Chains A and B, each alone.
Chain A
């Protein structure tokens, strides 16, 4: 029930409403819960409401973790992980 699907806003209809598309499917959504919805914004849609805008790129925290994961994954087997 907490499923939220990324949609792209394709048309802003006025106060609190917009058309948003997920793939080929476009639907009318409510935008009460996000600030300044604009054409091209990628929003998470849950139960007909945009609940947040998605940032264009991943967070620094996740990018840093990916580097750590790649380092750990690349270490030779049987030597134990050198955990920083």
Chain B
């Protein structure tokens, strides 16, 4: 059975759309015609990584196209020291709430999930604003939101802080480990070891930021950079656009996600973030400290700053022994190249965050690549 036919059947099951399946197959043929020499493209967003696996896109790519995962899984890039810092808060008897992805990320003293089993009060929330209700229900307890995520997620935290401030909810605070995407891409685009040929840019971060913050990748870095959505057809279109630019010797910022991404981004969301957060240096797993890549609470909101309230000082942490998440999320190795992959690190017993998170590259490789018995991962 040919690759296109295999994917065609899988795609029909997955998407139930002959039109979409046909387009993906056409894009695959186009890629094979365009690409004549090796190129290496980084899909920045973890949601892209999972969509690429789930849809079988990897099996459709020509062998010259190397697709590597980037630092677009917020849980994965959160530094080990930040995770340990958050876990230490539980010892103070606080209610610590976080999005579900964070719960099984291992730190020095277990994970949020394992410590909850020990009786500590760690809670999963699906929206930052859930914290308001939790804080009002427990007025005698300190309630802390562990705020992790990129520009897509930070506006919700900003809305929480505004509401807490307006309603004078004084037993609520935020531990902000939010991170900004462009500085990480700046570091990777100039890394001579990676030799990237282009970036598939994160669609939902771009919904907030718009085009401008990513333009430097093409204008200064000379790399094609294309904003893409998360359907298989959009991902394939983005890859074709990168390949076309590369083949023509061009480098432009493009977008194949115009339905959602306005060139100027979302002003309201950015205004909200600017009102509450100020840039600060931040430490990333795999990338180390990056200038102006984090979001701290502005002075006006300092009473809600958990770092101040609990005198916390996150320091750069040491990853679990043998864990190569840092190399995986910067595209230096593929997950199966980590000695722990599939043996000392599995979704049931993860050693590092890239195996835990629904968007982590290790978890995606484990769930899809191994099961399919594929031998080609590069």
A residues adjacent to B (C-beta < 8 A): 1-4, 30, 32-35, 44, 46-49, 51-52, 54-55, 57-62, 65-66, 68-70, 72-75, 80-81, 83
Contact = CB atoms under 8 A, between A and B. Distances in A.
Contacts of B357: 1
B204 A2 contact: yes
Residue among B23, B148, B149, B155 with most chain A CB within 10 A:
B155
Contact of A73 (B26, B36, B101): B26
Interface of B: 23, 25-27, 29-30, 33-34, 36, 45-47, 72-75, 99, 101, 126-130, 148-150, 152-153, 155-156, 159, 202, 204-205, 207-208, 234, 237, 240-241, 244, 247-248, 254-262, 266, 268-269, 272, 357, 359
Given A47-B128, A65-B256, A73-B33, A2 B46 contact: yes
A83 to B, nearest CB: 6
A32 B204 CA distance: 17
A61 B152 contact: no
A2 B72 contact: yes
Contacts of A51: 152, 155, 204, 207-208, 266, 269
B269 A1 contact: no
A32 B244 contact: no
Contacts of B36: 80
A49 B260 contact: no
Contacts of B73: 1
Nearest to A28: B127
A61 B259 contact: no
B258 A58 contact: yes
